[in-house]
Structure 1
Amino acid sequence: METSFWGPQTSYLNFCEEDYAITRYIAEFINTLSSLAYIAYGLYGLLSYPQFPTGSRLLLWCGLMGVGICSSAYHMTLKYHTQMSDELSMHLLTTPLVYRLITFKASPQRTMLIGTVLSSLFTLVMVTHVVLDEFVLHAVTFASGVLIVATQSPKMVSEHVPDPRTRQNLRNISLFGSSCFAFGWHIFTAIGSYTAVVVVDLVTLEEVVDDPTPHLAWPVPFVARRMAGPVEPSKAKAG
């Protein structure tokens, strides 16, 4: 093991990878490189629009890339402050996703209330986690956010995507993304996070007319094709 460029480890978590096995500048080489997948998927998402996204759409993709930047910094240095940034960046991604889901078609008053509650909760988590080194609140709120996204995204697809084939494909990739996230390693969680951003952004900002899955980043189009089955019939409208 080479001498660390960053000095002694101050983070309280260390994973099974041997530290500084490749270079003195990167503590956990594989974990650092695999974290870059978040940035790659975020850039792909940003560049996939005809016009550069703004507002809440831009925030989601920046949140995805932020997770990759902070995670890479943490695994590269194994410092306490980079560990805190890594863990807090998770909330900077999940909180806007939750906000977009639960404020969809809500009244302006309800939207403002939910935004205030989520902002206050994020601030509380940030302060207690960084200042008081309190881990449980961070873990519970993050897991709750992931659960909301994983359960509400397929429901939103079922309710708001009219085309049967597109609806099936989006539900399938939502399930695939949740399954990837459950693996807990950067490549898989990056894929899961990417699919979550794609699905939430599609169903909450525009009417989904054409099937977007063939144009998404690998391996999502491949998975959508493999999971495709008989198309469910459209629900008949009462006349």
Structure 2
Amino acid sequence: MAPSLDREGYWGRPTSTLDWCEENYVVSSYIAEFWNTVSNLIMILPPIYGAVQTFRDGLEFRYICSFLGLSAVGVGSWCFHMTLLYEMQLLDELPMIYSTCVFVYCLYECFKQENSISLFPIVLLIIFSVSVTLVYLQWKEPVFHQVRVCSMSCLSASFS
């Protein structure tokens, strides 16, 4: 956890289970981790542009969802690093789950021969997302985030 040097910013004391190595409220009293927050613009703006361009090009909806998922991760991460509140930590971490599930579905669809929507992987990924969300809401441990990242990597590898 980064030392706060007894600085309390606009959002109050951090309630998140994670606090990164950047000192809190050094640059602005409104942004807990200034550089972690600002660096998320790269996760917000280019994916929005990608979603718009994908829509204009008439590509499949799953690609638009992929770009918007990346942007949602950026917005959630922005909010989390700006506030260091647990609720915003969920807004950071849960979109990672959901967008990764969209990416896994996109990978699955790449290897199909017919042009149809497959309900089985969609249902499986929704069950996984709901289960992880419920665990997040009940168990406030940062180790879960680390284990979840590993499990999504394994799930992604099994579909490809």
TM-score (norm 1): 0.56
Relative distance call for 1:110 and 1:138 in structure 2 (3 A) is farther
Moved beyond 4 Å, runs of 4+:
106-110, 134-138, 147-153
Partner of 1:115: 122
Deviates more, 1:126-135 or 1:90-99: 126-135
Relative distance call for 1:137 and 1:14 in structure 2 (3 A) is closer
Relative distance call for 1:33 and 1:47 in structure 2 (3 A) is same
Partner of 1:131: 138
Pair 1:62-2:64 in alignment: no
Partner of 1:85: 91
- Mapped to 2, the partners of 1:75 and 1:110 lie a distance apart of 37
**Residue pair 2:37, 2:78 contacting (<8 A) in 1 also:** yes
| Cα deviation 1:8-34 (Å, max 9, x = unaligned) | 110121111111001110000000001
The alignment of Structure 1 onto Structure 2 pairs a total of residues equal to: 153
SS at match of 2:40: helix
Larger Rg: 1
**Residue pair 2:31, 2:37 contacting (<8 A) in 1 also:** yes
Partner of 2:29: 24
SS at match of 1:5: coil
RMSD (Å), alpha carbons: 2.9
Pair 1:14-2:19 in alignment: yes
Relative distance call for 1:141 and 1:50 in structure 2 (3 A) is closer
**Residue pair 1:128, 1:134 contacting (<8 A) in 2 also:** no
Deviates more, 1:127-136 or 1:49-58: 49-58
In percent, how many aligned pairs have the same letter?
A: 33
| Cα deviation 1:140-171 (Å, max 9, x = unaligned) | 34333345557977xxxxxxxxxxxxxxxxxx
**Residue pair 2:54, 2:64 contacting (<8 A) in 1 also:** no
TM-score (norm 2): 0.80
Pair 1:144-2:151 in alignment: yes
Query: Displacement, 1:106?
Result: 6.6
SS at match of 1:48: helix
Relative distance call for 1:103 and 1:138 in structure 2 (3 A) is farther
Partner of 1:172: none
Relative distance call for 1:11 and 1:106 in structure 2 (3 A) is farther
